[in-house]
Structure 1
Amino acid sequence: MNNNIDDAVEREIERCLDLESPRSFFLFAGAGSGKTLSLVNALNYINNKYRDLFLSQGKYVGVITYTNAACDEIIHRTHDNPIFHISTIHGFCWSIIQGFNEDIRAFIKDNLILKIQGLNAKITGVRDTNTSKCKKNVHSLEKAKKRLAELDSIYEFTYNPNSNSQFGKDSLSHTEVISLTTHFLQNKPIFQSIFVQKYPFLLIDESQDTHKELIEVLLELEDNYKSIFLLGLIGDDMQRIYSQGKSDLPSIIKNHWQTPQKKMNHRSQKRIIELANNIRGKRNGIEQLARDDKQGGHVHLFILNNTDNNTLENEVKICCKMAEITHDELWNKEGQVKKLYLEHRMAAIQQDFIELYDIFHNDNKYNTLILEGTITELSFFSKLITPLMEALLQNDNFVVMELIRNSSTILKGIESPLTLAETVTTETLTDTKKSVQKLADLFFSNININIIDILTILEEEKIFTIPPKLDEAFQLYKNSIEIQSKKIEEETVWIKFLTIPYQQLINYTKYINDETSYATHHGVKGLEFDRVMVVMNDKDKRGRGGLSASYEKLFGVVAESETDIRNKRNGKETDLQRTRRLFYVTCTRAKQSLALVAYTNSPEILKYNMLERKWFDEKEITIL
């Protein structure tokens, strides 16, 4: 076996990267194939060939990555090269529409007018205006009218999801930034021309999970400008985990595209790759190969009855058994095993943020954002309030004042903590310290505080500006007797959030930032771990919109539903297809050894099915 058989793929990509005759490509890059290396190699090739030309003509290579971590990694590996514009999808989209204020205003105005018309139609003629649905529509109508009235007064639109204080009327949402970019690229020829001239090469990592509407527009753009514009898509449809992605992307690639495929998996041991190939089946005709120096590895399936609720005890027991099977004592060491779950909800139960998770995941507007960790209002706490409390706990006065200086309405605009004494009166500084101390006393005296307890002090002391959505919910909560007495039929998402224990928000933040030993397929794309435990329990998951994931269906314990059969007949995604992809993503994170923990009401049937499919040998299955 030649570990370097994929080198020919790198040369094939290089031949595409020709300004005189660009050729778009879709690079299949499965788990552990080294797609980041291929991306960096392509960028280095462009730099060596076109750097001077790009600098002199103001051209760039656009690179869209899925996560901030991937973005930082590529920037680091390409030495912060000025001809590369490397960003996440939202950051990149904002960079190309920023400054088109009148076009943005017109787009938002048109959408608001349509929204207002739709809401008016829903409200008109309603017999009972006291229903929660009607009240919600009236509230949405008032908000839409208010935003429409404010539009003309906005001088410049802004977007910064990582800001602690940017929540004003001029701010755009994540969804709006994507929608605006899609609209401009599809409907504005001048914008299209400017874009392809500025970015003759656009490379998209994890393309299978990029917003389908944007991908479709970019494919159309490429077809219209293929003589001067190259679109490079990198990914693997088997690793698509978000519903927003374009399904079966390889099948819609045009004939003039190149479609190189990487065959190697440099990450995992051979036994893990064999299982991954079985999970994938014959999809895309892909079968990955192991390196010469990775011909071993361990996989083991542990089957438990789903009436067994001793989850944590079982995990400890399984780690002990894996240490015996693999002769690797690190299975018994804290922090050395990555535990992956079917979905965030299962992890939320284990990590104690289930109430917070359910509030946002059960709402169509936030159900994807909560998975990505990109709800702006939550960052107000995770990036400001919690760090402030941690700094106070550690008596780090410099960090405390830095946070207050950057975000407080009292000290905002002061250039340096060292100039505080010259800029702010002693009285103001003393009052600020007292206000912050009140917040600290709340934290340190009561571990069971709720979000509303924090907002109460923030409003009283006016330390920071409360984000509008939170403030609106806070005012409703305070002023509505119905809400305070819990008599209303349906609370808004943010009013529900107010009553959540703050500790749940802290737990969620640690989890989403990968500061625990737990994760899901959403949070580990592109990551790898020596020892992985995948926990599967359909009892703890909760699907949305009729689509879920079911390991018992994947393992043949539960039959496909009528909905699955109907979806399959209509060319729509089924639970089984989605589960197979999620299972593939989690299993392929493992480098050395993999423990699979399946809870079911039919352990013997599950074992029989796995042996029949030849996914596991008899010695690799244990019923506990």
Structure 2
Amino acid sequence: MNAELNPAEQASLISLSQIQQCIDNRHCFRLEAGAGAGKTYSLIESLKYIIKNKSAEFADKRVACITYTNVAKDEILNRTDNHPLIYADTIHAFCWELIQPFQVNLRNILADLDDKWRSKVQITSITNQIVKYDLGIMRLTETEAYLHHDDVIKCMSKLLQLGKFQKHLKNKFPIIFIDEYQDTNQDLATSIVNYLIENDSGVLVGFFGDHWQKIYGKDACGLVNSPSGKIVGIDKNANFRSDKNIVACLNRIRSELPQNEYNPCSQGTIKVFHSNSWDGKRLTANHWQGDLPKEETKAYIDQVKNKMLADGWDLSNPVKTKILFLTNNLIATEQGFKNLADCFKYSDDYLKKNDPYIKFFLDILEPSILAFNDKNFGKVFQILGQKNPNLKCQSDKGKWAKHFEELSNIRRASSVQNCLNKIKEADILSIPFSVQKNEIKFTEILTKTQKEKTNKDIEFQSKYTKFKAISYDEVIQLGEYIEEKTPFSTKHGVKGAQFDNVLVIFGRGWNQYDWEKLLLWMKNGVPNGEEEKFEKYRNLFYVCCSRAKHNLTLVFTQLLSEDSINKLKEIFGSENILGDPFN
């Protein structure tokens, strides 16, 4: 081993050599690459090894690399120079590529996919329809059957049981690499193991990922194993991200996959605060039990942020610093759009801009005002979809600019309703039909008597009455958060990311997680029947603690037992458990 290599590089080379041996010997393998280990590097280097040493063996066959995002797919293709030997695509595209020719088999299994398909088949029988997949919307007609996104995975899982299909797959892709394998659908992963690996199909399957970073959905497979030992387990004992003492903490959390740091001389900071000394009345309702009241939680977070500022953290830079909360609702309070969030039953209505008003404000109004303030008038017209804004003379231009300036100013200090009124009055923006439709419906409901209003009418009126009364500045704050111009994120939203400084808030607020239980179970053992819950808690805790490069701070607003505090001391060191931030 080259003595000039740092510990992480040495560990990386060892795991890469083991992968290459598996490729040479046609052994299926699983690379377990913990946080910061450089999993993608190992994947790319393995593909390059095949390109360099195995291309002659493939003829018209290819190596498949399955990903879960188009971003990951593009990165793999770019880093392998778009070599024709490499097929990289998302899991759905890969599955459809393989199952599409098996039309008869697909028609035969449609009715067995789920209850929705059974119901549809009872109404419209399956005859000779062409099975298609494009938008991922399920539909059955007399001539076509359109698959939902989930159906593609289900069909793949079932077709893998057929010897004819296995042969078809091997003839196209004798080697398959699965990126982020732990997020693979459980049924599909089971079929891959049973029908490609256990039965010696001849397909070499390489799994790249980390089962401790399975944090999305109950259907994900997590750790993949072969009952007969036909998957070679390879650990990548490297961490290229975090400073030495942070890596040491991660190793105490996860002793079975010890990591070697990139810089043995590095020394980050670790600080753990808790609220045990607070003697007021804590929350007792449902999933908030044991947490601080809302006002106290904010006070604790603000106090810790002040300490971090004093330590030199740049809290205004979301590239360098990230503050992690459990839920978007908690972020809404911190970022200043809590009243807006409270208007909506589903967070996707505002976070994914499913609501027509939110979409109009954040996709049209805000970008056009920002472009106007930057004096980029061409971009304004581009956003508005106006090639010729009908400005015939200088006075027209003056009026147009005056209205835009007034709108820019009023939105910072007025309600959503006042902004809408100004938009209608100025007539410089085309209000989308979806918003117009809502406005008409809202007005019609207001004219009805209370007896005439349906429950849906009352719900609609209440929702948008509240929404129109909030400060428009909350819309602006929401936009900042969605565009990642703030340091805030949910714990689930940072998987794969890294930051110089990370502050994690461990409180209640979601019945899916309880940090007191996690620490107790880590200290005293997991009770029977709680293994799945423990894994969920543990994985998210690990993902959060492993985002920091240099500075990691944890704040527990939930009341912790003595055993839990002692577990924190074991992991992070007694000297780093600082207790109440106000002391």
Question: Is TM > 0.5 for Structure 1 vs Structure 2?
Answer: yes
**1:184 is matched with which residue?**
156
Contact kept, 8 Å, 2:28 with 2:231, in 1: the verdict is yes
Secondary structure of 2:501's counterpart equals strand
Q: Which amino acid aligns with 2:210?
A: D
Q: Per the alignment, do residues 9 and 380 of structure 1 end up closer, same or farther by CA in structure 2, a change over 3 Å counting?
A: farther
Q: Per the alignment, do residues 525 and 608 of structure 1 end up closer, same or farther by CA in structure 2, a change over 3 Å counting?
A: closer
Give per-residue Cα distances to partners, 1:102-132, cap 9 Å, x unaligned.
87677666668x43877xxxxxxxxxxxxxx
Contact kept, 8 Å, 2:499 with 2:548, in 1: the verdict is yes
Contact kept, 8 Å, 2:62 with 2:85, in 1: the verdict is yes
**1:389 is matched with which residue?**
365
Q: Structure 2 matches for 1:437-456, cutoff 5 A?
A: 448-449=415-416
Distance in 1 of aligned mates of 2:437 and 2:252: 52
Where in structure 1 are there 5+ consecutive unaligned residues?
119-143, 406-410, 412-416, 421-425, 427-436
Give the structure-1-normalised TM-score. Answer: 0.67
Give per-residue Cα distances to partners, 1:158-180, cap 9 Å, x unaligned.
2279xxxx99999999x922332
Distance in 2 of aligned mates of 1:484 and 1:334: 53
Q: Per the alignment, do residues 295 and 156 of structure 1 end up closer, same or farther by CA in structure 2, a change over 3 Å counting?
A: closer
Q: Structure 2 matches for 1:65-80, cutoff 5 A?
A: 65-80=67-82
Per-residue deviation at 1:51?
Answer: 4.3
**1:530 is matched with which residue?**
500
Q: Which amino acid aligns with 2:528?
A: R
Q: Per the alignment, do residues 381 and 16 of structure 1 end up closer, same or farther by CA in structure 2, a change over 3 Å counting?
A: farther
Where in structure 2 are there 5+ consecutive unaligned residues?
1-5, 279-291, 391-400
**1:330 is matched with which residue?**
313
Give per-residue Cα distances to partners, 1:19-48, cap 9 Å, x unaligned.
xx5221111101111111101101111222
Contact kept, 8 Å, 1:557 with 1:605, in 2: the verdict is no
Distance in 2 of aligned mates of 1:150 and 1:476: 41
Tell me which of 343, 347, 350 is aligned to 2:334.
Answer: 350
Superposition CA RMSD, Å: 5.4
**2:195 is matched with which residue?**
221
Secondary structure of 1:87's counterpart equals strand
Larger radius of gyration: 2
Q: Per the alignment, do residues 95 and 399 of structure 1 end up closer, same or farther by CA in structure 2, a change over 3 Å counting?
A: farther
Per-residue deviation at 1:205?
Answer: 1.9
Q: Per the alignment, do residues 49 and 402 of structure 1 end up closer, same or farther by CA in structure 2, a change over 3 Å counting?
A: farther
Distance in 1 of aligned mates of 2:20 and 2:49: 7
Secondary structure of 2:37's counterpart equals coil
1:259 paired with 2:259, answer no
Contact kept, 8 Å, 2:189 with 2:221, in 1: the verdict is no
Per-residue deviation at 1:622?
Answer: 2.9
**1:301 is matched with which residue?**
272
Secondary structure of 2:492's counterpart equals coil
Contact kept, 8 Å, 2:66 with 2:89, in 1: the verdict is yes
Q: Per the alignment, do residues 275 and 488 of structure 1 end up closer, same or farther by CA in structure 2, a change over 3 Å counting?
A: same
Distance in 1 of aligned mates of 2:70 and 2:170: 25
**1:577 is matched with which residue?**
535
Q: Structure 2 matches for 1:105-504, cutoff 5 A?
A: 114-115=115-116, 157-159=133-135, 176-187=148-159, 189=162, 190-223=164-197, 226-246=200-220, 249-252=223-226, 254-280=228-254, 282=255, 285-304=256-275, 305=278, 306-307=292-293, 309-322=295-308, 328-331=311-314, 334-335=317-318, 336-351=320-335, 378=354, 386-393=362-369, 394-395=371-372, 448-449=415-416, 487-488=454-455
Q: Per the alignment, do residues 286 and 209 of structure 1 end up closer, same or farther by CA in structure 2, a change over 3 Å counting?
A: same
Contact kept, 8 Å, 2:7 with 2:261, in 1: the verdict is no
Contact kept, 8 Å, 1:512 with 1:523, in 2: the verdict is no
Contact kept, 8 Å, 1:185 with 1:192, in 2: the verdict is no
Q: Which amino acid aligns with 1:12?
A: Q
Contact kept, 8 Å, 1:23 with 1:256, in 2: the verdict is yes
Distance in 1 of aligned mates of 2:321 and 2:28: 40
Distance in 1 of aligned mates of 2:272 and 2:485: 27
Secondary structure of 1:80's counterpart equals coil
Tell me which of 34, 40, 48 is aligned to 1:36.
Answer: 40
Per-residue deviation at 1:600?
Answer: 2.7
Per-residue deviation at 1:388?
Answer: 3.5
1:586 paired with 2:544, answer yes
**2:13 is matched with which residue?**
7
Q: Per the alignment, do residues 614 and 397 of structure 1 end up closer, same or farther by CA in structure 2, a change over 3 Å counting?
A: closer
How many pairs align?
526
Distance in 1 of aligned mates of 2:521 and 2:157: 47
